[in-house]
Chains A and B, each alone.
Chain A
Amino acid sequence: MFTNSTQGYGLISVLFHWLLALLIPGLFALGVWMVELDYYSEWYHRAPAIHKAVGVSVVGLMILRWIWLRLNPRVLPLMHADWEHLAAKTVHALLYLGVLLLGTSGYLIATAEGQGVKVFDVFEVPPLSAEALFERQADLAGEIHVYVAYGLMALVVLHVAGALKHHFIDRDATLRRMLGKR
């Protein structure tokens, strides 16, 4: 029930998937919204604080999820065309990469002047150094953060489009499997 089998995903993997499916686009929306906030908005400080805390959590979840996936039996792919396997694999890898890049660049923005990243009031991720690691750190990391975020959302669109194609056009079990059905 909790673990994956060769035929389908267990509850843990399913929860990882849908939790992240909620949090990642949520972080994107929050990020786009919060940078436009007025100084007098009551969300001016709260929104970035939540964004950072959830951001750190998402990177943590992605790493745990990857470890969980490795510990479990490999779920065998369904019968698809070769190009579909390749596309799916590439998009999956890029989704991981995108989240890691977003986490890294976000961390580099927040810690550019030696401040840590607070995760709610639970703990603080310390900065790597008391000073910037490279010139214009916050600005460059900020630009990367924005571009990667939009890129990641484009990948999410592809990922969702793929799932919907399998469900409605191919009428196969791809999406149902991700809902935990075997």
Chain B
Amino acid sequence: MAINTMKRVAAKQAGTRSNKKVAAALLASALLALSPMVAAAPVNYTIDTQGMHASINFKIQHLGYSWLTGRFEKFGGSYVYDADNVANSKVEVEIDTASINSNHAERDKHLRSADFLNVQKYPQARFESRKVSGSDSEMVIDGQLTLNGVTRDVTITAHKIGEGKDPWGGYRSGFSGATELTLADYGITYNLGPASTKVWLELNIEGVRK
């Protein structure tokens, strides 16, 4: 109510330059009074899959000559991030393995089959953190990844990209992380050649404060 009134006042006063400045200052102070400057720690976020400001990409060498990249189209999750103490943070991500997309119908069909992700039997992959350490610029996320029905410890190294208010009344933060998986660890033993036994996962995550 107060903001709306002020906005209206601001609009009316917008005739002269000095009035504009006054209005802007009033509006800004009103907004500041209503919302905290920095999110108080720890904060819960939902990964923004609705606006899709997140991606889970992978890359693997092809024959040792080039990189083949792809991504998972469907996933979701949430995290807690504590700007004051990274150790309070945690993250959970679920991936719909059938949504794998490497931009080639027959390869994707093969990747979904029992030779690789066996999506009929294991439609979901899941990562859950156990311990987060380090700093914003060098986060170490230890956790467990379940893929193809196999659960193993993995470490994701990540860093914060940024955080703050968005233009639509919400509050966001974003991170980028990566890890390297050995396919055989997850029971994926189809022979792609000696250069292609490992896959790099890259996660770009933006969360909206709950």
- What chain B residues lie within 8 Å of A136 (beta carbons)? 98
Q: Is the CB of B105 within 8 A of A115?
A: yes
A-B contact pairs, 9 of them (CB 8 A): A38-B191, A39-B190, A110-B106, A111-B105, A112-B108, A113-B105, A113-B108, A138-B109, A139-B98
- What chain B residues lie within 8 Å of A40 (beta carbons)? 191, 193
Is A31 in contact with chain B by the CB < 8 A criterion? Answer: no
Min Cβ gap B100→A in Å is: 11
- What chain A residues lie within 8 Å of B126 (beta carbons)? none
- What chain A residues lie within 8 Å of B191 (beta carbons)? 38-40
Measured CB to CB, the nearest residue on chain B to A127 is B105
What class of interface size applies to chain A in its complex with B?
10 to 19
Which among B98, B105, B190 is the interface contact of A112 at CB below 8 angstroms?
B105
Is A24 in contact with chain B by the CB < 8 A criterion? Answer: no
Is B103 in contact with chain A by the CB < 8 A criterion? Answer: yes
Q: Is the CB of B103 within 8 A of A113?
A: yes
Q: Is the CB of B193 within 8 A of A109?
A: no
B residues 107-129 near A (Cβ < 8 Å) are: 108-109, 112
- What chain B residues lie within 8 Å of A114 (beta carbons)? 105
Is B17 in contact with chain A by the CB < 8 A criterion? Answer: no
Report which A residues bind B (CB closer than 8 A). 38-40, 48, 109-115, 136-139, 142
Min Cβ gap B45→A in Å is: 29
- What chain A residues lie within 8 Å of B190 (beta carbons)? 39
B residues 69-113 near A (Cβ < 8 Å) are: 98, 101, 103-106, 108-109, 112
Q: Is the CB of B193 within 8 A of A39?
A: yes
Q: Is the CB of A138 within 8 A of B108?
A: yes
CA gap between A67 and B202 in the complex, in Å: 55
Which among B103, B106, B192, B193 is the interface contact of A138 at CB below 8 angstroms?
B106
- What chain A residues lie within 8 Å of B106 (beta carbons)? 48, 109-110, 138
| Known A38-B191, A40-B191: A138·B98 in contact at CB below 8 Å | no
Q: Most chain-A Cβ atoms within 10 A of its Cβ — which of B101, B106, B191, B193?
A: B106
Q: Is the CB of B192 within 8 A of A39?
A: yes
Q: Is the CB of A112 within 8 A of B193?
A: no
Q: Is the CB of A115 within 8 A of B104?
A: yes
CA gap between A136 and B106 in the complex, in Å: 12
Measured CB to CB, the nearest residue on chain A to B109 is A138
Q: Is the CB of A113 within 8 A of B104?
A: yes
Digit string of B175-210 for contact with A (CB within 8 Å is 1, else 0)? 000000000000000111100000000000000000
Min Cβ gap A113→B in Å is: 4
CA gap between A139 and B190 in the complex, in Å: 19
CA gap between A113 and B109 in the complex, in Å: 10
Min Cβ gap A158→B in Å is: 31
CA gap between A136 and B193 in the complex, in Å: 28
- What chain A residues lie within 8 Å of B103 (beta carbons)? 113
CA gap between A47 and B193 in the complex, in Å: 19
- What chain B residues lie within 8 Å of A137 (beta carbons)? 105
